[in-house]
Amino acid sequence: MYSSKKYCYDYPRPCVTTDMAIFRENEGRMEILLVKRKNEPYQGMWAFPGGFLNEDETLEQCAARELEEETALKNLVLYQFKAFSDLHRDPRHRTITVVFVGFLMSQQTDSAGDDAAKTQWFTIDDLPGLAFDHQQILDEVLEDLSRIILEK
């Protein structure tokens, strides 16, 4: 159970986030949902929906919460893809992210909330520049999805 006790460590601790790569098919083309960042760092740039893990939640709970807070999408099945831990992936501090992948299969409508200024679907072959290391992450997700499709 979560404690309100203050912690003090002799060594710095990294932060943990979740980021979600959410796809849909639209008129035969694969699209990905991105959010325009409302705040620094990378204010005004496009990124995956995501955010910081709270001390009293699992990675899966964080992913679902952040997705709903930033895009209004809920009850999506999210698959844990991979953790990314480059030392400089976030200019604020040491941050490790766990990426989840999901596919929008319903008629839910997305809308920006929390620290997202805007949501927008982009075809995967016509993307804006992405914040953080999200282009590298997307490239790895797409490579993995391609491999899965080819194996079937």
Which is it for the CA torsion 15, 6, 65, 79, positive or negative?
positive
Distance CA 15, CA 79 (A): 21
Instruction: Summarize pLDDT for 107-151 with one digit per residue, the tens.
Output: 889 998 878 889 999 999 999 999 999 999 999 999 998 887 777
Q: Which CATH number characterizes residue 133's domain?
A: 3.90.79.10
pLDDT band with cut points at 50, 70 and 90 for residue 51: very high
pTM reported for the whole predicted model = 0.90
In a domain, 140, yes or no: yes
Statement: residue 1 has pLDDT above 60? no
Query: How many domains in the chain?
Result: 1
Find the domain containing 101 and state its range. Answer: 15-151
pLDDT at 104: 95
